[in-house]
A and B are shown apart, each in its own frame.
Chain A
């Protein structure tokens, strides 16, 4: 079966760095996405990785290792507005998105 695992909840301090991990087992792989979702809103696109390595975009970076079925999202210089759920999703062999359950990130002052 297809499976994506990520922690349910994480807590971090404003100004700090946090890493959210995601492991996956899917039938085929056409890329991995990270989305941010604030409560009551639709997901917004953060990053897309299809090749191994690190993609950096401002305060956010995403890493992928296809051989390990592993990705992480790194958030630097955390701000209170970063409090949200972070969803890991893998595009499978049919280009359908398989979703993780999401990681709720709580930022404390």
Chain B
């Protein structure tokens, strides 16, 4: 089956610093990857859609200069939270989609970010 990994699984950083989260498709090529954020007891919120080799498409209300997304290869997308603040503390989850399976997304295990 399709496997997606995320690294790190959890990270603690100080306010004002930047954090990079990696999302990798391990056994398939992902032309499209999605980044979600989930606050406690809430559902997933789509932050952006990332297509390999092009700029990410951000959802309304998501600051593209704060959440930098790079999808440089067919197996890797990165999310960098710049100048992190405590309110950015959340569970960040990526998912990936195969080119010929538009209807299905494979989820990574998630990254727990805590900003102190």
A92 to chain B, nearest CB (A): 11
Say which size band chain B's interface belongs to: 20 to 34
Residues of A whose CB lies within 8 Å of any CB of B are 30-31, 40-45, 48, 50, 87, 91, 95-97, 99-102
Indicate whether A99 sits within 8 Å of B44 (C-beta atoms), given known contacts A30-B102, A48-B104: yes
State the CA gap A31–B105 with chains docked (Å): 12
Contact at B103–A42, with CB atoms within 8 Å? Answer: no
Residues of B within 8 A of A (CB): 34, 42-46, 49, 91, 93, 97, 102-110, 112
A82 to B106, CA, bound (A): 21
The CA of A53 and the CA of B108, in the complex, are separated in Å by 30
Are A102 and B91 in contact, with the CB atoms below 8 A?
A: no
B43: contacting residue among A31, A42, A102, CB under 8 A: A102
- Are B103 and A99 in touch, CB under 8 angstroms? no
Our pick among B42, B91, B104, B106 for the contact of A101 (Cβ within 8 Å) is B42
Residue of A nearest to B93 (CB): A42
In the complex, the answer to whether A43 meets B107 with C-beta atoms within 8 Å is yes
The CA of A96 and the CA of B105, in the complex, are separated in Å by 9
Residues of chain B with a CB closer than 8 A to A99's CB: 43-46
> Are B103 and A95 closer than 8 Å at their CB atoms?
yes
B27 → chain A closest CB, angstroms: 16
